[in-house]
C-alpha cells in the first residue's frame, strides 16, 4: 500500500496559504488606492476587443480547414498509417477547437458589451458564421477521410451518433478525456468561486456573480451522476 507523502501535503497547504495571503494583501492595496479605477477603465477598454479575438480564432479555424483539405486532397483523403491525416490528426482537432473558441469568445463578448454601443458589435454575426462554418467544415473533412463516421453534424443527436461509430480505442480515449476534464473542473470551479467572491468584495459587486458558477457545477454533477447510472443496454 502506498503511503501518503505528508511533507508534500503540508508543503501544498503552506504554499496555498501564502498565495491566498498574497492575494488578500493585493486586494487591500487595490481597494485602498486609485488602481481600482485604472483596472476598471482597462477592463472596459479591452472588452470590445473580444470580438477581434473571436474573429482571429474563427479565421484560424476556417483557414486551417482549407489548408488541411488541400493537403488531404493530394493524398485522396487517405487515412493509412504514415499518411498526412495520420500524422496531423491532433493538429486538425486543435484547429477545429479554434472554431469552437470563436463561438465561446463571441458570445462572451456579446454578454459583456450588451449594454455598450460599440462598433465592434457587427463582428458578432461574422463570428457566428465563421464558427458554424468552421466546425461543420472540419467534421465534413473528417468524413471524407473516414466515411464510416457519417453522422450528420446538423442533427440533434450528432454527438451520440458520432460516438457510437468510433472504434473501441477511440471510445476509451474519449472516456479518459472526459474523466480528466471533469477532474480538472472541480478545482477550477473552486478557484472561480473564490475569484468572484474576491471581486464582489473589492469592487463592491453583488455576490450573485457566483450564482452561474454554482448552477453550472450543480448541473454537471447531476448529469454526470445520471449518465453514469443509466442502463445503456435498453437505449439500443
What end-to-end distance do the CA atoms of the chain give, in Å?
Answer: 41
C-alpha cell at 186: 472541480
Distance between CA 162 and CA 127 in Å, rounded? 26
C-alpha cell at 64: 486551417
What tens-digit pLDDT sequence spans the chain (236 residues)?
Answer: 455 455 565 666 666 666 666 666 555 655 555 555 665 566 666 667 788 889 999 999 999 999 999 999 988 888 888 888 889 888 999 999 999 999 998 888 887 777 666 677 788 889 999 999 999 999 889 888 888 888 888 788 888 888 888 888 888 988 888 888 888 888 888 888 888 887 777 777 777 888 888 999 999 989 888 888 877 666 55
- In the numeric block, the cell 477511440 is attached to 170
Residues 6+ apart with CB under 8 A from 52: 120, 123
* Contact criterion met (CB below 8 Å) for 27 and 103: no
CA-to-CA dists, residue 219 to 1, 150, 164, 188, angstroms: 36, 30, 24, 15
Q: Tell me, what's the pLDDT at 20?
A: 62
Q: Tell me, what's the pLDDT at 186?
A: 87
Q: Tell me, what's the pLDDT at 197?
A: 81
Q: Tell me, what's the pLDDT at 67?
A: 93
Angle formed by the axes of helices 6-31 and 35-46, to 10°? 100
Distance between CA 132 and CA 146 in Å, rounded? 21
C-alpha cell at 179: 474523466
* Contact criterion met (CB below 8 Å) for 130 and 95: no
Amino acid at each position: 500500500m502506498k503511503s501518503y507523502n505528508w511533507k508534500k501535503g503540508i508543503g501544498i497547504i503552506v504554499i496555498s496559504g501564502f498565495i491566498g495571503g498574497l492575494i488578500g494583501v493585493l486586494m487591500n492595496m487595490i481597494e485602498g488606492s486609485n488602481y481600482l479605477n485604472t483596472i476598471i477603465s482597462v477592463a472596459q477598454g479591452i472588452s470590445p476587443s473580444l470580438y477581434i479575438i473571436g474573429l482571429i480564432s474563427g479565421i484560424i479555424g476556417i483557414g486551417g480547414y482549407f489548408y488541411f483539405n488541400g493537403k488531404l486532397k493530394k493524398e485522396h483523403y487517405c487515412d493509412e498509417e504514415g499518411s498526412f491525416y495520420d500524422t496531423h490528426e491532433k493538429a486538425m482537432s486543435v484547429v477545429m477547437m479554434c472554431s469552437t473558441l470563436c463561438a465561446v469568445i463571441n458570445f462572451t463578448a456579446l454578454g459583456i458589451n450588451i449594454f455598450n454601443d460599440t462598433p465592434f458589435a457587427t463582428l458578432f454575426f461574422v463570428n457566428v458564421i465563421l464558427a458554424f462554418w468552421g466546425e461543420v467544415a472540419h467534421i465534413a473533412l473528417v468524413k471524407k477521410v473516414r466515411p464510416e463516421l457519417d453522422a450528420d453534424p446538423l442533427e440533434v443527436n450528432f454527438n451520440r451518433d458520432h460516438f457510437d461509430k468510433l472504434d473501441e480505442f477511440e471510445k476509451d480515449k474519449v472516456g479518459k478525456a472526459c474523466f480528466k476534464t471533469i477532474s480538472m473542473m472541480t478545482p477550477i470551479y473552486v478557484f472561480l468561486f473564490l475569484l468572484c467572491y474576491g471581486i464582489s468584495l473589492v469592487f463592491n459587486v453583488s455576490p450573485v456573480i457566483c450564482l452561474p458558477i454554482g448552477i453550472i457545477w450543480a448541473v454537471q454533477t447531476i448529469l454526470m451522476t445520471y449518465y453514469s447510472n443509466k442502463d445503456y443496454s435498453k437505449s439500443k
